Homo-oligomer: A and B are copies of this chain.
Amino acid sequence: MPLFKVSIGKFKQLSSVQSIVLFYVTAIMVSTIILSMPFFLREGVSVSLIDTMFTAISAISVTGLTVVPTDLTFNVPGYFALAFILQFGGIGIMTLGTTIYILLGKKIGIRGRQLISVDQNRSTLQGLVRLMLKILSTIIVIEFIGTVLLSLRYLYYFDTWQEAWIQGFFAAVSATTNAGFDITGNSLLPFSGDYFVQLVNMTLLVLGAIGFPVLIEVQQWFFDKKDHRNRFRFSTFTKLTTTTFFILVVVGAVLIYLIERRHFFSDQSGLSAFFYSLFQSITTRNGGLQTMEMTSFQAPTLMVLSFLMFIGASPSSVGGGVRTTTFAIMLLAIFHYAKGHSAIKVFKREIARQDVLRSFIVITTAFMLCLTAIFIMSITEPFTNMEIAFEVFSAFGTTGLSLGITESLSVIGKLVIMVMMFVGRIGIFSFLFLIRGKTTKDLYKYPEAKMIIG
């Protein structure tokens, strides 16, 4: 069987990134099959193949954009199947894959470790398996607490405890994985006056989007012996990504409040406006849940939200976009360059030149990709540029907010959004490596050319 041998050989030659993509594609295909099974659909409901695929990609990439109403399309077993897919997509196929390997008692080879490393963008291979287990257990603990808190509260809203529990469980999984799917039929709008539900959801959203490395470090710090704690040092990465994360949340909330003060918030109490602003700002960090209609917002607010969605979540989290560190390094680079500094310093550490270049490449490529998507859809779709841009940035950031056009998209529009969700999830870095084809080594050098720039 020489053909088979060739295939195996080719597979081995694939770079880690390409393997990751292959795994994601497989996961999407399997999810499509699962979600198209009549067993998981409500009676009399039928969904077209493209809509099922759209739902599968949206679930695996934990985006939350939907072309069919989740609550009316799937039945209770379907809700659980969907929750399982969200879990799978959110934590990362590799993380789960590793854990399953461990549970089955198999050893993970160096190649397996490399795959996980790229998927979670970890630059060290040390203690990776233990790390995976930590991630999984952390997430499950968070989701368990979330489920208990929400289910108890939902007893006020739903008739039976079963219903309250199912809603609470799905909501906790959807919030922690930042999936943005809902089975209330209207996101968190039914709870727009319930600050307890919102606080729990915001906490879960932040824990999911802040990045696993940060969670692990905080855990270590927390469980460290008292005499060690003072000497514990958070990594520069954790400091930078967490600072950026919370600055974005605060800036977002303040801008939303200031713009909407005399519009949507004009007849709201201060507390109400505060919760609306804060929740909608946090949700762009990648959750996609919402306590109000996006169409109620003014154009400037929608611009702010689009921008925040484009930046997205922290690296190695459940979220997409260009990631917080990328954006922070870009800003730091511009600032230091304008100041005439030769190196970029932050928290008493320097950022490697290679990382600076990489940040710029990720951001510009991402933006041109989004522009191309908006351009194509402005030809094929009958919606305004604002509605289309919002949808595209939401898909790339795997956020899942929408101005309500998702269900009415043309087939081309749906395909474009599917691609954007996929690229947003695997990240621009993987995307670039995916399309690069055969790598050639630099064996020769040319003299440098003088250039005039800007």
A residues within 8 Å of B by Cβ? Answer: 121-123, 213, 235-237, 240-241, 259, 299-300, 303-304, 307, 315-316, 322-323, 325-326, 329-330, 333-334, 337-343, 345-353, 355-365, 367, 371, 374-375, 378-379, 384-386, 427-429, 432-433, 435-437, 439-440, 442, 445-454
Contact = CB atoms under 8 A, between A and B. Distances in A.
A448 B337 contact: no
Copies of this chain present in the complex amount to: 2
B349 A333 contact: no
A348 B446 contact: yes
Contacts of A428: 454
B356 A357 contact: yes
A454 B439 contact: no
B358 A446 contact: no
A356 B235 CA distance: 29
A450 B337 contact: no
Contacts of A435: 338
A258 to B, nearest CB: 9
A387 B343 CA distance: 40
A452 B122 contact: yes
| Most chain B beta-carbon neighbours within 10 Å: one of A326, A342, A378, A454 | A454
Contact of A445 (B122, B350, B353, B358): B350
16 contacts: A236-B449, A259-B379, A323-B453, A333-B361, A334-B365, A334-B432, A338-B432, A340-B436, A341-B442, A346-B449, A349-B449, A351-B451, A352-B449, A355-B453, A359-B453, A363-B364
Contacts of A356: 357
A454 B329 contact: no
A453 B340 contact: no
Contact of A454 (B237, B326, B386): B326
A436 B337 CA distance: 9
B349 A446 contact: yes
